[in-house]
Amino acid sequence: MADPTYTFTPADDVGVVRMLINDTGAPWVFSDEEITAFLTLEGGSIKLAAAQAIDTNADNEALASKVLKTQDLSTDGAKVADALRKRAAALREQAAAEDGGYFEVIDLGPTCGPELTGRWLSW
């Protein structure tokens, strides 16, 4: 297996995902291949791929950091993970708003049209 690559080029989809997840330089969180996998999983949607990457990072943060306290430092992995998940949710909302939703008209053929509804009401 080839060594993972790490690049930041804001002109391509991987770079835009990196920009949205604040993974633009060393130490890198995700390899280009991992970000490409997020894009594939999310059907090429940059914001949904970024949201998935952030959720994955949140899971890692919650599992690794826990709650740590020393005399002058404290960290709370659960709070960090919660903040990351809120960012992921916001990206998903943006993606849904940009998509605008869709509907599809389905032709059910001549046996299911409005002109036939009177027949069923006359019994």
CA distance from start to end of the chain: 71
Look at residue 99 in the predicted model and tell me its pLDDT.
76
**3-state SS of 57-75?**
HHHHHHHHHCEEECCCCEE
Q: How far is CA 1 from its chain centroid?
A: 27
Tell me which H or E stretch contains 108: none
State pLDDT tens for residues 13-64. 999 999 999 999 999 999 999 999 999 999 999 999 999 999 998 877 776 6
72 token code pair: 């002058």
Per-residue pLDDT band at 119 (split at 50, 70, 90)? low
pLDDT tens profile 60-83? 777 666 666 777 777 676 777 788
Amino acid occupying residue 106: I
Mean pLDDT of the chain: 81
SS3 78: helix
For residues 50 and 20, the answer to whether their CB atoms sit within 8 Å is yes
